[in-house]
């Protein structure tokens, strides 16, 4: 099967009308009038951002999901995406079929269509890059900077699940004993959070309406929060007990309290942190509820960084953020 046949068989069914059936040399998109475009790119490499043995469909969904997560955090509605795929030696059509099925599922959930792409081979590991486009009403993109002193800090969903899930997944793949803390923990849910990001697209309208700044949590809550505060020329005062944890994450931390560091700096959460002026807080919470996305107020924008534990004492985080480079 040559490249045009591969494209027609596996990728063209995912394309919207703007993709021109993936039969032209470019996609053609008429931007929605009165809107700005929001553009983001994320690359994933096997062995670095995912395990080579992860299910192909989950890898594809993750590659799209991490980009959708960026769009969501910027308050953008998805318009379309382009995919670059470098296939490693020994790739099979079965792999491609599973990959595209996962991509299709994630694209349908995210209401986003494939616009175009490029498929090549590599002597190295599977490598994907997705560029996603979204739209916001003109002037409406939520920036990383813009938070002001005393703005409320919110985080969506729960934090730390994916980092704990990654630890469990690694033990599983390397046929090691699961860590001691995993004894009474629902491993499936945590691993699923690692494998399948859930981009918080439903939160985009609430962010546009109320947030002074926002970003997605991809490299760990602590580091990403610091990055957002730094961009705004401020710091965060966080009450650590307010950080939302899932039931399995709470169980893991109860078994090994030292896991808090991993949970808060480990990355791959794909939740959203945002700053909301106090006067907008009630409205933001109401809009988030309407959107069906849980949000928790974890602190406020402050002049000096404080992470406060339940006993009132300050807690330091040495590791800043999870970095792939």
If one asks whether residue 141 binds its own copies (CB under 8 A), the answer comes out as yes
64: phi then psi, degrees, rounded to nearest 5:
-75, -40
Interface stretch with its own copies, choices 86-94, 151-159, 163-171, 303-311 (CB under 8 A): 86-94
Pick between residue 49 and residue 237 the one whose CB is nearest to its own copies.
Answer: 49
Least distance from C-beta 223 to its own copies, angstroms? 10
State the Cα–Cα distance between residues 55 and 302, nearest whole angstrom: 43
Q: Which two tokens stand for residue 301?
A: 């924008």
Please count the residues of this chain forming the interface with its own copies, following the rule CB under 8 A.
69
Answer whether 244's CB lies under 8 Å from 193's CB: no
Nearest approach in angstroms of CB 294 to its own copies is 22
Q: Which of 49, 62, 113, 169 binds its own copies (CB under 8 A)?
A: 49
Answer for which of 60, 68, 85, 238 binds its own copies (CB under 8 A) is 85
Sign of torsion over alpha carbons 47, 83, 110, 275? positive
Q: Candidates 66-74, 175-183, 198-206, 277-285: pick the segment binding its own copies (CB under 8 A).
A: 66-74
By the 10 Å C-beta count (0-12 exposed, 13-18 middle, 19+ buried), 96 is classed as buried
Query: Distance between CA atoms of 190 and 283, rounded to whole angstroms?
Result: 31
Task: Give the interface segment with its own copies, choosing from 3-11, 171-179, 190-198, 236-244 (CB under 8 A).
Answer: 3-11
Q: Which stretch binds its own copies (CB under 8 A): 74-82, 157-165, 233-241, 304-312?
A: 74-82
Q: What is the rounded distance in angstroms from the CA atom of residue 35 to the CA atom of residue 88?
A: 39
Binding status of residue 280 toward its own copies by CB under 8 A = no
Query: Which residue, 25, 3, 23, is CA-closest to 13?
Result: 23
Q: How far apart (Å, rounded) are the C-alpha atoms in residues 307 and 313?
A: 8
Give the residue, chosen from 2, 180, 258, 311, that forms a contact with its own copies under the rule CB under 8 A. Answer: 2
Cα distance between residue 18 and residue 13, in whole Å: 13
CA-CA distance, 131 to 237, in Å (whole number)? 34
Let me know the angle formed at the C-alpha of 199 by 65 and 85, rounded to the nearest 5 degrees.
5
Q: Is residue 86 at the binding interface for its own copies, with CB under 8 A as the rule?
A: yes
Does 324 interact with its own copies (rule: CB under 8 A)?
yes
Contact code string over 206-245 relative to its own copies, x by CB under 8 A:
---------xx----------x---x--------------
Binding site for its own copies (CB under 8 A): 2-4, 6, 20, 23-31, 35-45, 47-49, 70-71, 73-74, 76, 80, 82-88, 115-125, 127, 129, 131, 133-134, 138, 141, 143-145, 215-216, 227, 231, 323-325
């Amino acid at each position: 099967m040559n490249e045009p046949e591969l494209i027609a068989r596996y990728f063209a069914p995912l394309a919207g009308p703007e993709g021109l059936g993936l039969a032209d040399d470019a996609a053609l998109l008429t931007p929605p009038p009165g809107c700005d475009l929001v553009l983001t790119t994320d690359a994933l490499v096997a062995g670095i951002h995912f395990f080579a043995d992860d299910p192909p469909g989950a890898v594809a969904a993750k590659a799209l999901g991490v980009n959708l997560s960026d769009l969501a955090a910027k308050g953008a509605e998805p318009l379309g995406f382009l995919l670059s795929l470098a296939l490693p030696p020994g790739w099979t059509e079965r792999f491609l079929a599973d990959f595209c099925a996962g991509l299709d599922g994630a694209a349908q959930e995210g209401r986003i269509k494939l616009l175009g792409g490029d498929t090549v081979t590599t002597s190295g590991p599977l490598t994907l890059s997705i560029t996603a486009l979204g739209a916001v009403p003109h002037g409406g993109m939520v920036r990383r900077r813009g938070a002001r002193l005393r703005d409320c800090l919110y985080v969506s969903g729960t934090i730390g699940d994916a980092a704990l899930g990654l630890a469990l997944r690694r033990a599983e793949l390397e046929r090691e004993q699961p860590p001691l803390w995993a004894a009474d923990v629902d491993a499936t849910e945590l691993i699923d959070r690692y494998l399948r990001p859930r981009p918080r697209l439903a939160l985009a309208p609430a962010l546009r309406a109320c947030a002074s700044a926002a970003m997605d949590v991809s490299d760990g809550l602590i580091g990403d929060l610091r990055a957002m505060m730094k961009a705004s020329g401020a710091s965060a005062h966080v009450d650590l007990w307010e950080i939302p944890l899932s039931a399995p994450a709470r169980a893991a931390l109860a078994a090994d309290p030292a896991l808090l560091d991993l949970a808060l700096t480990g990355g791959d959460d794909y939740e959203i942190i945002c700053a909301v002026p106090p006067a907008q807080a009630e409205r933001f919470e109401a809009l988030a509820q309407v959107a069906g996305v849980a949000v928790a107020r974890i602190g406020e924008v402050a002049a000096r960084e404080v992470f406060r534990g339940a006993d009132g004492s300050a807690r330091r985080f040495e590791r800043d953020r999870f970095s792939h480079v």
